[in-house]
Amino acid sequence: MSRIEKDKEREQRIDYEIVVDAYNEEERAMGWYYYLDDNISFPFQAKWLSGKKPEGRDVKVLGISSAEDCEHNMFVEVEYDDDVFSARLSDIEPLEVDEKTIQAIADWKYWSDRGYEF
């Protein structure tokens, strides 16, 4: 059972814009990859949430990770303490971003939280 309630509008966007015509795991992953890359405005400031530091670390999100890195989950490159790390997009809380970025990240978190898989 999913942790969050079904959102018909979001479900429709996912089905008809993101994973449309995707017939296998790789195609669904690439649908998400290109949707996120096209709709998130990089760079942006964010909190990188983790179990180690639940209140989050202040980071700069530089861009989406390579397509190869996103075959099983969506990752972004974050700058923290003058180093660059890969972080799961679901662990990122954006700060002061545009509506399109908010929606794209929320769509991914919804997909993940509903327990959907590629």
Compute the distance between CA of residue 115 and CA of residue 8 in angstroms, rounded to an integer. 16
Domain extent listing, the chain? 8-113
Instruction: Write down the pTM of the prediction.
Output: 0.92
Paired tokens of 33: 């990859």
What is the dotted CATH code of the domain comprising 8-113? 2.30.30.530
Nearest to 45 by CA among 63, 64, 60, 65: 60
Q: What is the pLDDT along the chain (118 residues), one digit of tens a residue?
A: 567 899 999 999 999 999 998 999 999 999 999 999 999 999 999 999 976 766 789 999 999 999 999 999 999 999 999 999 999 999 999 999 999 999 999 999 999 999 999 9
